[in-house]
Amino acid sequence: MSKPLHIVMVHDRYQYVGGEDVSTDADVELLREYGHQVTLIEVHNDIIKAFSQFEKLKLFAETAWNFKVYREMQSQFQTLKPDLVHVQNFFPLFSPSVHAAARSLNIPTVQHLHNFRLGCLNGYLLKDGKICEACVGRNPWRGIVYGCYRKSLVASVAVWTMVTVNRWRRTWTQDVNAFITPSHFAAQKLIEIGIPSDLLYVKPYVINPTNHLNNLNHAEHQDIQIEPRSADMINFLFVGRLSPEKGVITLLKAWSELNRTDWQLKIVGEGDQKLILQSFVKDYGLTNVQFLGYLPPSQIAEVMQTATAIVVPSQWYETFGRVVVEAFACGKPVLASEMGALAELITPEYNGFLIPSDRLSAWIEKLYWCGTNPEAMRTIGKNAYQTYQELYTRSTNYQQLMAIYGAVL
């Protein structure tokens, strides 16, 4: 694109740092690195904790359409005069009204779809720990019956209202110029949900292997180079949100059965399942499991570079699998569930391994194989790094994003 753009990025941050927050920050960094002006407008869901009961009930009503946000965004857009508004996440504090505010001023908008919430109340296509597509292609009223959002009838009604009202008023076809999702798998599911295929683009997430962005020559837009390192000892690494759909309990059960006390398992991340996982570790006497908590991207890269392999035991349809590509960028093989977009990223036996998500014996077998075949793992790690270089560099990602913006503008 010949001239720098002014982009307003809109994002509602979650209470626990997750992939959507990291993706937003990475997109902002990438655009600024290439000389574009980015104005980030964001709120944080932490403020909901301080809401009174009345304010929470009011938020349930405003999740579908927030008239105050509409007026505030309209005023800000009028002042900022951006070329384009890129909405990463509007749920629940912004609401889809942010798109209508931009449209009222003839400013094109892009909606990033990181999950399946426009057709599934919990966004995961997951119920009771198992894949559920009961609402795909239908009105998601079943999610109210099941209490799919936070196991709450009232909260589920609020999300159902958001989905239904905006389908009824055709928000997604009238107010949004393009949708971005990170994988072809996610795109297919979103089309089945009802997102127009002609407005839907696939762009992988931006990956920052280290935080040494300040050392980049921004004029030349060089991609970060990492020299893959061998693990000093046999250790496996999980990085992600500690919640049921991420499958950490499956990993811990396999680890317990593996019974290799001379190996280590490191777990990076926070989430509402953390205490349950820590109790499991304590009850089974797993002294070789470490919970490292939240780590910034630079420290995650350091931990990855000293790992034997990265483990992604997801029990749901991952829309991408950022940690997989981060591992590739560090030259590390990945053991992942054979589900969703993970199967799109990994070439079995070449840059990683795909394992049936619920087959404990297969996880035990593959963990053991990886820990006892160091030479083969080094070769697979080199292949993983080559995959990153060929498909997921920052320059490639930037070109993909500009192609989408160009189509919209």
Whole-angstrom distance, CA of residue 119 vs CA of residue 132: 12
- Is the preceding peptide bond at 92 cis, omega within 30 degrees of 0? yes
pLDDT at 16: 66
Q: Does residue 1 sit within a domain?
A: no
Is residue 216 domain-resident? no
221: in domain:
no
Which among 85, 59, 88 is positioned nearest to 74, based on CA atoms? 85
Q: Do 387 and 398 belong together in one domain?
A: no
Report CA-CA distances (Å) from 363 to 263, 328, 340, 403: 15, 20, 18, 40
**CA-CA distance, 60 to 367, in Å (whole number)?**
45
DSSP code of 245? G
How many whole angstroms separate alpha carbon 269 and alpha carbon 322?
Answer: 14
190 plus 243 within the same structural domain: no
pLDDT band at 19 (very low <50, low <70, confident <90, very high): confident
What is the pLDDT, as a whole number, of residue 219?
Answer: 37
Structure tokens at 92: 């629940």
Instruction: Give me the phi and psi of 100, to 5 degrees please.
Output: -65, -35
Task: Let me know: does 371 contact 259? Beta carbons within 8 Å.
Answer: no
Q: Are strands 126-127 and 352-355 parallel, antiparallel or unpaired?
A: unpaired
Residues 256 and 358 in one domain: yes
Q: Is 345 part of a structural domain of the chain?
A: yes
What is the tally of structural domains in the chain? 2
Which of 5-19, 178-192, 370-384 is least confident? 5-19
Whether 209 and 302 have beta carbons less than 8 Å apart is answered as no
Assigned domain for 230 exists: no
Query: CA–CA distance from 147 to each of 60, 121, 135 (Å)?
Result: 15, 9, 13
pLDDT above 60 (res 213):
no
What pLDDT is recorded for position 14?
Answer: 83
User: Measuring CA to CA, which residue among 310, 229, 299 is closest to residue 265?
Assistant: 310
Task: Provide the pLDDT for residue 182.
Answer: 98
User: Is the same domain home to 179 and 246?
Assistant: no
Q: Given pLDDT bands bounded at 50, 70 and 90, which one contains residue 321?
A: very high
Condensed to tens digits (0 to 9), the pLDDT of residues 119-172 reads: 999 999 999 989 999 999 999 999 999 999 999 999 999 999 999 999 999 999
Please report, for the domain that includes residue 241, its CATH number.
3.40.50.2000
| Contact residues for 300 (Cβ-Cβ < 8 A; gap 6+) | 239, 268, 326
| Residue 244 dihedral angles phi and psi, to the nearest 5° | -55, -40
Q: Are 378 and 341 within one domain?
A: yes
Specify if 38 maps to a domain: yes
Is there a single domain that holds both residue 264 and residue 121?
no
Residue 120, domain extent:
6-207+394-408
List, for residues 53-92, the tens digit of each pLDDT value: 899 889 998 999 999 999 999 999 999 999 999 999 999 9
Query: Do residue 130 and residue 241 come from a single domain?
Result: no
Pair (399, 386) in one structural domain: no
Q: What is the pLDDT of residue 18?
A: 73
**Which two tokens mark 313?**
């035991």
What CA–CA distance (Å, rounded) separates 67 from 150? 25
pLDDT at 217 over 80: no
Please give the full DSSP string across 46-82, using - where no structure is assigned.
GGGGG--HHHHHHHHHHTT--HHHHHHHHHHHHHH--
pLDDT tens profile 369-404:
999 999 999 999 999 999 999 999 999 999 999 999
Cα(90)–Cα(63) distance, rounded to whole angstroms?
9
Same domain for 399 and 374, yes or no, is no
pLDDT exceeds cutoff 50 at 216: no
